[in-house]
Structure 1
């Protein structure tokens, strides 16, 4: 965080100094009881309903408390704590974040999508980090409550920022965009997820569409030209620049001649009447789409396309993202337990279509969560996708995933099918059939520690 004088903050918020000294600098900002208080020189927004541990705050001092609690409560502060009373904590919170964000005239990228947002974010960070100091969200930790700490991570050395937008409910993306005020927005794709919070697919598309209004004036929107649900995003009110990526002719950044090669994808990129050869580590056409979106973004920040392509070739694929490992019996294990939704399952099956010819294919599929009233429908649709393929063994884990097995069997799948309520006993079925000709794909919900541990148990140590 860029250091800010306490007096400057009080003047900004038009607050009343209740106690303490205002001639020192704040180096950190949190929302009390939402974020951990770990540092000195911390500003904390304290709501009326929060119980204050004045000793904890004072021990981390100097500390700054900003609150709209009654003055009688705020006068209990200890000597190492400065207290400023404001009329409205909510208004002060947003005013502070808006002020801080606009201290920096830098590119800020915000990424949403059902799949690929973490990978695209990491690709952009990888490309830019050679020359620039980049602030970015961590891994897939993209909840709205993380937005304030991420924003505070921008300082005078930061040349650009790239943030992944989490979506659990309608309004989440709008909330995060109000904080980040992105200059570039990316929608990787829109499949099916979080229907419990958005009601249905239409509600989910509407929630994703909040990024359009969230981009700063004259900003840039980067969209998947080939994704059917992204085409439903209303763009009539967007006044900035729109760029498309994909394989269709509509794409400004277009991929062609896509091929699976050793450890990744080889393809060509067509942009501005030029053609470039490209490579990206990691398997699947979806990986090519992620790369196109990342290259489009960094190009808008001023990086030459050829240079961006050379840098993305050294990108290290993330763990548990279609991660290949040597497994039991010299088999190949594909660990794709990072996330689990219908879009990512279909993408993984397409990878198997390309690399699994002549191999014995085993699928281990876990529950897909957050589908609301549509759980059975989408698990059944995955069952149909599986039934069409030449698979040796299908294993489902969990009560929801059982619908995958039921649908596949109803459609006459020739594979051996096993249904398990949990991972117990699955290894006993797998060990006798795992050999050097076997490829096993395992997918399960990110929150399932048992599925993650089970995937690791299949790998050779």
Structure 2
């Protein structure tokens, strides 16, 4: 953690001390007033949604000893008086982001530790998590938190290291040439790792060769005393090796790799098992994260660990117990028994293919459902790349495909061209539409993969799935469906669904819901369902009431005169009648038998 005087910060940032004393001791630096510790420094960094200068008073209240600002004192209003009254020092700098980098450079100069820089088109964060877990078995290790791999996150990672840190791991992202070189100037890595060179950001850099050169900025920054670890199975590794002044170590599945894997297989949960080989020795490894592609990430972490002299047993232990950053093959089971694989943080063609393979390889009792969204920054490769993903989905045997986004329509086209039936393909334009589809097609025992580029924000889908309105209290369930149609002047199509739930403690109860589509009578858009359901609840014959919905708005009619009636009707879920019926089961645990009635 950063430990410096206010005078040292003035020197590092080339700023001016405009208030307070330079002898103030600073312990840590934050750009978020909610994270300020007593005795820390707060850097007022302008952001997309808020300006740090608007939170200076909160930082003072949290105990900050030093404020670093870009506005003169006269423009800070009452903050000056508060800072003066509490003895807080204020440093004025020209540019906040530059000041952050300058402080990190100053702090890095005082660290006596090995620094590992990690970059690559995909797998950076997972590899960083695996490596941090492995090295922590032997060294005091600090690593990038989450995915803070840019010109703001990397300096904060450097500042989190302290004098007792033995290894610092920094993830390096980029969106253009020169950016990784700038990050290297701040972190000064002693060791480098490039996971692969893919097509991410090709829209910005133009060619894959240019992407390789950008990743190679890390390779060229490693001193001769260090080491560079490269993916021996990646076609651009030979080019990257020529850029290195340091020794190069290769990892991969080939026999010529310095660190390799054999006997690779996956268990019923999709987690890879393999034998790791290095230096004539070998050790069995069991990964705790789904995905056969994670073998490469594990080998990358193993290659660095072997270079650092970590025992193979500790490497295997660290790989198995690693905790992954959120939204990277993160798996959980919803209340209704649907397994969700949350891989929604980002996507490119390679990671999409890996995620599809992971879903297809899992042994599950139900169906496999892929919810895939747009892949961004692919430039002219965009249509073909999405089409190929669709072909991979169909070829893998995944039963249901749900796409969201304009670009992802090509994923559906590819799946259709490869033979996936049209009734198993759904295209959506909003998160609500995706949730509606999942309500209809996903059931207990099914597994749903959610993946797209970061700009799609599909974590909202995962969030809605992980926070359901209901939790079934029953030990078993069964379902059946029937379909009927009637002809009228409005050509209504009537759909009926019956769900029967049972339990050892409760009598069986049934729910019937009717849905129909009629643009002229019931709704404003042609395929928007209208559901009207009449419910009878013995042993309360007077408690007859009805619920209906047009689109996603529920309303209640009739009456309810039983003293134990549910009082949370305003919390009814909005996605489908089947979810609603299960909510009723949650709210009325004594059980009901429901009947439906449709008045022509």
TM-score, length-scaled by structure 2: 0.65
In structure 2, what is the Cα distance between the partners aligned to 1:190 and 1:58?
45
Summarize deviations over 1:419-454 as a string: whole Å, max 9, x none. Answer: 111233444544454456644333233433433235
| Distance change >3 Å, CA 242–CA 453, structure 1 → 2 | same
Matched, 1:104 2:111: yes
* 2:114–2:168 Cα contact (<8 Å) kept: yes
1:161 aligns with 2:168: yes
Q: Secondary structure at the match of 1:365?
A: strand
- Asked whether the 8 Å contact 2:112–2:166 carries over to 1, the reply is no
2:452 is aligned with 1:444:
yes
Find the counterpart in structure 2 of residue 421 from structure 1: 429
Is 2:301 the partner of 1:287?
A: no
Does structure 1 conserve the Cα–Cα contact (< 8 Å) formed by 2:251 and 2:300? yes
Residues 364-403 of structure 1: matches in 2 within 5 Å? 364-403=371-410
Give SS of 2:310's match: coil
Matching residue of 2:246: 240
- Give, in whole Å, the separation in 1 of the partners of 2:41 and 2:335: 52
Answer yes or no: is the 8 Å Cα contact 1:327–1:459 preserved in 2: no
Going from structure 1 to structure 2, the CA distance change for 1:35 and 1:170 (only over 3 Å counts) comes to farther
Aligned partner (choices 216, 231, 240) of residue 237 of structure 2: 231
Confirm whether residue 456 of structure 1 aligns to residue 466 of structure 2. Answer: yes
**Cα offset for 1:88?**
10
CA distance in 2, matches of 1:327, 1:41: 43
Is 1:182 matched with 2:179?
A: no
- Cα distance change, pair 384–96 in 1 and its aligned pair in 2 (3 A): same
CA distance in 2, matches of 1:46, 1:210: 30
The match for 1:194 is: 201
The corresponding residue for 1:343 is 350
User: Which structure ranks higher in relative contact order (CA pairs < 8 Å, sequence separation ≥ 6)?
Assistant: 1
Contact map agreement 1:27 1:41 (CA 8 A) in 2:
yes
Give the Cα–Cα distance (whole angstroms) in 1 for the partners of residues 466 and 44 of structure 2: 43
Moved more, 421-430 or 233-242: 421-430
The answer on whether the counterparts of 2:365 and 2:446 sit within 8 Å (CA) in structure 1 is no
Q: Give the Cα–Cα distance (whole angstroms) in 1 for the partners of residues 56 and 126 of structure 2.
A: 42
* SS of 1:290 mapped into structure 2: helix
User: Displacement, 1:198?
Assistant: 2.8
- Correspondence for 1:113: 120
Residue aligned with 2:397, SS: coil
Q: What is residue 3 of structure 1 aligned with on the other side?
A: 3
SS at match of 1:424: helix
Structure 2 unaligned blocks of 5 or more:
46-50, 472-600
Q: 257-266 vs 314-323, which deviates more? A: 314-323
Range with greater deviation from structure 2 (37-46 or 123-132): 37-46
Separation of aligned partners in 1, 2:93 and 2:102? 12
Which structure is larger by alpha-carbon Rg, 1 or 2? 2
Query: What does residue 26 of structure 2 align with?
Result: 26
Q: 1:283 to 1:234 in 2, by over 3 A?
A: same
SS in 2 for 1:23: coil
Offset of residue 90 of structure 1: 9.1
**Is the CA contact 2:33–2:56 (under 8 Å) kept in the aligned structure 1?**
no
Residue 368 (structure 1) shift: 1.8
C-alpha deviations, 1:281-315, integer Å up to 9, x for none? 12222111111111222232231122221232223
Q: Return the alpha-carbon distance in structure 2 between the equivalents of residues 174 and 36 of structure 1.
A: 30
Structure-2 separation of matches of 1:179 and 1:253: 30
Residues in 2 aligned to 1:406 and 1:53: alpha-carbon distance in whole angstroms: 49
Distance 2:246 2:440 in 1: 58
- The runs of 5 or more residues in structure 1 that have no matched partner are none
Greater displacement, 276-285 / 93-102: 93-102
Write out per-residue CA displacement over residues 340-366 of structure 1, whole angstroms, 9 at most, x where no aligned residue: 221111002222343359964332212
Distance (whole Å) between structure 1 residues aligned to residue 110 and residue 305 of structure 2: 22
Partner residue, 2:534: none
Counting matched residue pairs gives: 454
Corresponding residue for residue 587 of structure 2: none
- Normalising by the residue count of structure 1, what TM-score does the alignment of the two structures yield? 0.83
Specify the SS of the correspondent of 1:234: helix
Shift, 1:277, TM fit: 1.6
Measure the CA separation in 2 of the matches of 1:299 and 1:413.
45
Q: CA deviation at 1:167?
A: 2.1
1:357-368 mapped onto 2 (5 Å cutoff): 360-368=367-375
Deviates more, 1:385-394 or 1:51-60: 51-60
Aligned in 2, Cα 1:54/1:274: closer, same or farther, shift over 3 Å? closer
